[in-house]
Structure 1
Amino acid sequence: MEVFLIKALQFLMAISLLVLLHELGHFTFAKLFKVRVSRFYLFFNPKFHIMSTYDTWVRRLFRLKPEVVPTVKDEDGKEKKEYVGTEYGLGWLPLGGYCAIDGMIDETNQKLSEVAQPWEFRTKPTWQRLLIMVGGVLVNFLLALFIYSMVLFTWGETYVPLQKMSQGMEFNEQAKAIGFQDGDILVSTNEKDFKKADADMYRMLCNAEEVHVLRHGKPVTIQMPEGLSLVEMAQTIPTFVRPLLPAVIDSVIPDTPADKVGLLKGDKILAANNQQVKSFYGFTDELTRMNDVLASAKTHADSINARLLTIVYQRGENIETASTLLAEDLKLGFAPATLYEPTTFEYGFFESFPAGIKYGWNTLSSYVSDLKYLFSSDGVKQLGGFGAIGSLFPSAWDWHQFWLMTAFLSIVLAFMNILPIPALDGGHVLFLLYEMITRKKPSEDFLIKAEYIGFGALILLMVVANMNDILRYLHIM
């Protein structure tokens, strides 16, 4: 429960910051061009809100110059003053936020008056409306680059370069059929050098025409086939490639199954449940198989059998056997031996900005390139909702990882919002570009229908993504 709360709090903090600044981007440009913003809310407030205040009170507090209040005539022809301030509020449903801009057809479903007013969005020049619409995306993108820059400045970049992994990598049967061998050290593709063991490594392998490796100290070139699937490469068990680490125990966590059966530092695991173990990840593959069996257990006895682990390990010259019943998290409770010391690359304050921009741009391009897999049956299964996103945050509070995840979500939010889909910022941008090119404004009836269709599609996508989370939690998918 504690882990869930820590992850949930980090997710809520990150998404609140991103939504607030995104809407502030729209708000700032709207105010710059003297467009009235009737409501500015963090979180949604169907039916009621937790807290709200009008900007007259905000202005009194900060002694800002009040807006001009226009005089209008009611139905009887009598003059009356109309309030033009912004209602700032905090909704009760923490799923986003909104900035209600007067004279604009959007998801707030506000009704437009028959007579367009000078302070409304629809009366402003096209270029001003375009800047108002891209304001949120622009803020999120620049925010991500700034966060990445500050993360590199504060913590630097720490990883083990692939070329320094002297034991090389281990490969699955698909990779070996292509020509790889266990122990190969990845050097480069025909386009660029490998950097570290991460998602980019898989992307480079997937897109490469040839891969250069060191095998027993000699350079070897491997010709890569076309049509490799990034999803299959990363998700098959065992995966296409991973660091070759020995299944040697470095330390044992107290009061865990490993501690109770007497495992010690230096012990080498040779087999698990009659399956030969050649590496640390080979051992974790067996735990993954056990987890699949446990997920399908129907009785208490099935659950007990699924959690029973028998290992064969070597201590010095002796070969010994031990059996233990694992908890439902299926963790034995040891840390593997560390072969490599990570390298930390530090950046000065001014150096961090170009490095952060490069880091952010690479993150965006990688995310965009991976979207092509979304249109496959396996890709749809990888869709995740709020649960999947929240699970990406660390289980213990870690500011470094928190800010990296926040920057990544900011990049994703910027890109997804600029897609040319009605109800998203990109949909409004698409119609504005059409208006700029053709000099014709789409009818309000068309915009309203497009908004409903786009909003319905987004709701459907959200339902599918969160349903996937539920199915994964129930071990059905």
Structure 2
Amino acid sequence: MSGLIMAAQLLLGLSILVILHELGHFLAARAFGIKVEKFYLFFDAWGVKLFSIKRGDVEYGIGWLPLGGYVKIAGMIDESMDTEQMEQPMQPWEFRSKPAWQRLIVMLGGVVVNIIVGIFIFWMMTFKYGETFVPNSSVQSGIYPGSIGKEIGLQKGDRVIAVNGTKVIRFDELISPTVLLGNTNLTVVRNGKTLYIKVPDNILNKVSTLGIEEFISRKPLLTSKIDTVIAGKPAFKAGAQKGDKILAINNVPVKYDMDVIEQLKKNKGKELLFTVNRAGQNVALKVPADTSGLVGIGFDSDEIKIETIHYSFLQALPIGIEQAWVQFSTNAKGIAKVVTGKVDANKAFSGPVEIARKVYGGEWIWARFWASTAFISIALAFMNLLPIPALDGGHVVFLIIEMIKGKPLGDKFMERAQMVGFILLLTLMVFVLGNDIFKAFTS
């Protein structure tokens, strides 16, 4: 069932974004009197379509190939590769008859709409839900690093107080793109001493393979003080009480909640000797762990304070803009890492399967759906700006060259460039889809 939910969210989210992207091109073209012949969600490859209807001089429809969508603009070399139309005399309602600056606006229309959509969703999400976070100042027990974090020198209980010299206000800044893109300096307090730890350039490779929890856990450490004892479970039967502070398990000292969890995992199905401090007195408890390494206790999550900042309708707007900009710049920095060889392409690029699994998830939560859709909208805007023929960015580059030269590039050149672009995009699609399938089977 979760697989169907993932697929449904992906299909709905991408359909919304594709329609709005193409609407950006459509409205810009119509604003300059350019004829639009088709407006399609998905591609009607080889003339096969699921649905179509004619309104005025535009055919609206849904194709069978779910790889995006398109608007067919008269007098333009695009996805349709309609070379016959280009051989006819130029008409005043055609794309090619318009000034370069108007054609440039038409080509940027989709990207602009995707950016506006991303900002709008982030804005509305911020207005409705505010910003909820863990203040880094409330994290007294420090971080729980995984294997990647330990490899670069982080230790259990470290308190990271600054990133690149800037004070950390929110705990989740420790796993933000600023840190994960690497070449970052962390200021760490350990046992009262200040240390500096470098996050290497290639950290994203390892995080992509092993997961974010193997760098720094999203959950800060808690002390080993028991907050909950579940009735009927082993700890309850052994006499554990709320407020007990676990000092040792089988004479192995424990300080944090994760120390306790680690010891329980090592001793699944065994009887354990808990040494706890209760009202200033040490008490010994014999607690049998079940086969999953559980004993029925919980720790005091109230040690970590959670804050929510609420914004007015207008106050939320700059927050939404900032969130969109962070996503856009993160995409740019990520591509730069791939181009320079600091991040492997198979770990940097995700296709529909990975987006469905890791972005949308297997549970339909509307807040998550819209946040994920905003994230993808900004990613689509960035990807469409890449200077690849057949993408909006490729057309933009050619139009800028035309404006510099003072005359358009030849139709034959544009046809060949479009074909090269199609081959590049097809290769990329095959790569990311294959990469998705490989990750799904090996995760």
User: What range describes the TM-score normalised by the shorter chain of this pair?
Assistant: 0.7 to 0.9
Contact 2:13 2:373 (8 Å CA) reproduced = yes
Among 289, 293, 314, the residue aligned to 1:350: 314
CA deviation map 1:274-305 (0-9, x unaligned)? xx997549969999xx9xxxxxxxxxxxxxxx
2:50 matched residue in structure 1: 50
* Alignment of 1:128 onto 2:102: yes
Contact 1:202 1:233 (8 Å CA) reproduced = no
Where 1:324 maps in the other structure, the secondary structure is coil
For residues 333 and 408 of structure 1, do their structure 2 counterparts lie closer, same or farther at Cα, with a shift above 3 Å needed? farther
Contact 2:224 2:247 (8 Å CA) reproduced = yes
Gaps of 5+ in 2: 277-283
1:99 matched residue in structure 2: 71
- Cα drift, residue 196 of structure 1: 2.7
- Written as runs of structure 1 = structure 2, the 5 A alignment for 1:401-416 is 401-416=368-383
Contact 2:165 2:187 (8 Å CA) reproduced = no
Aligned mates of 2:406, 2:263 — CA distance in 1: 61
Aligned mates of 1:86, 1:269 — CA distance in 2: 74
Where 2:350 maps in the other structure, the secondary structure is coil
- Written as runs of structure 1 = structure 2, the 5 A alignment for 1:235-384 is 235-236=209-210, 239-242=214-217, 243-245=220-222, 280=258, 310=269, 314=274, 317-324=284-291, 338=301, 339-375=303-339, 376=341, 378-384=344-350
- Cα drift, residue 450 of structure 1: 0.9
Report the number of matched residues: 415
* Alignment of 1:387 onto 2:362: no
| TM, length-normalised to structure 1 | 0.75
For residues 175 and 11 of structure 1, do their structure 2 counterparts lie closer, same or farther at Cα, with a shift above 3 Å needed? closer
Contact 1:277 1:283 (8 Å CA) reproduced = no
CA deviation map 1:298-338 (0-9, x unaligned)? xxxxxxxxxx9657765963344445379xxxx99998763
CA deviation map 1:222-248 (0-9, x unaligned)? 153764533335655872333334688
For residues 122 and 174 of structure 1, do their structure 2 counterparts lie closer, same or farther at Cα, with a shift above 3 Å needed? closer
- Cα drift, residue 193 of structure 1: 2.4
CA deviation map 1:97-131 (0-9, x unaligned)? 11000110111222223311111111110000000
Gaps of 5+ in 1: 57-84, 254-258, 291-307
For residues 236 and 406 of structure 1, do their structure 2 counterparts lie closer, same or farther at Cα, with a shift above 3 Å needed? closer
| TM, length-normalised to structure 2 | 0.81
* Alignment of 1:8 onto 2:7: yes
1:169 matched residue in structure 2: 143
The AA in structure 2 aligned to 1:24 is L
The AA in structure 2 aligned to 1:370 is G
Where 2:88 maps in the other structure, the secondary structure is coil
Root-mean-square deviation over aligned CA pairs: 3.8
CA deviation map 1:32-75 (0-9, x unaligned)? 1111100001122223222222223xxxxxxxxxxxxxxxxxxx
Aligned mates of 2:64, 2:226 — CA distance in 1: 49
CA deviation map 1:148-204 (0-9, x unaligned)? 011000011111122221111133577557654422222213442223325754633
Where 2:364 maps in the other structure, the secondary structure is coil
For residues 215 and 127 of structure 1, do their structure 2 counterparts lie closer, same or farther at Cα, with a shift above 3 Å needed? same
For residues 472 and 133 of structure 1, do their structure 2 counterparts lie closer, same or farther at Cα, with a shift above 3 Å needed? same
Aligned mates of 2:198, 2:136 — CA distance in 1: 19
1:143 matched residue in structure 2: 117
Aligned mates of 1:189, 1:445 — CA distance in 2: 52
The AA in structure 1 aligned to 2:304 is Y
For residues 356 and 126 of structure 1, do their structure 2 counterparts lie closer, same or farther at Cα, with a shift above 3 Å needed? same
* Alignment of 1:463 onto 2:430: yes
